[in-house]
Amino acid sequence: MKVKIDADLCTACELCTGQVPEVFEMGDEVAEVITPDVPAEFEDAVEEAAADCPVDAIIVS
């Protein structure tokens, strides 16, 4: 699984960085992905974060 964040949509609400700090971190203005190739043990959490993101800025593929 791969994950990325649409920086144009992210509102820096810090939800994803709180939910899965192993994968997401706050950058200067928006959240950023630390591990674009999501480790298997965090796939469920990343799916959940993508579903919970209030502006659908987290894109999984």
- Binding residues for ligand SF4 (CB under 6 A): 5, 10-16, 30-31, 53-55, 57-58
**Three-state helix/strand/coil letters over 1-44:** CEEEECCCCCCCCCHHHHHCCCCEEECCCCEEECCCECCHHHHH
Minimum separation from the CB atom of position 21 to ligand SF4 (A): 11
Minimum separation from the CB atom of position 61 to ligand SF4 (A): 15
Minimum separation from the CB atom of position 34 to ligand SF4 (A): 13
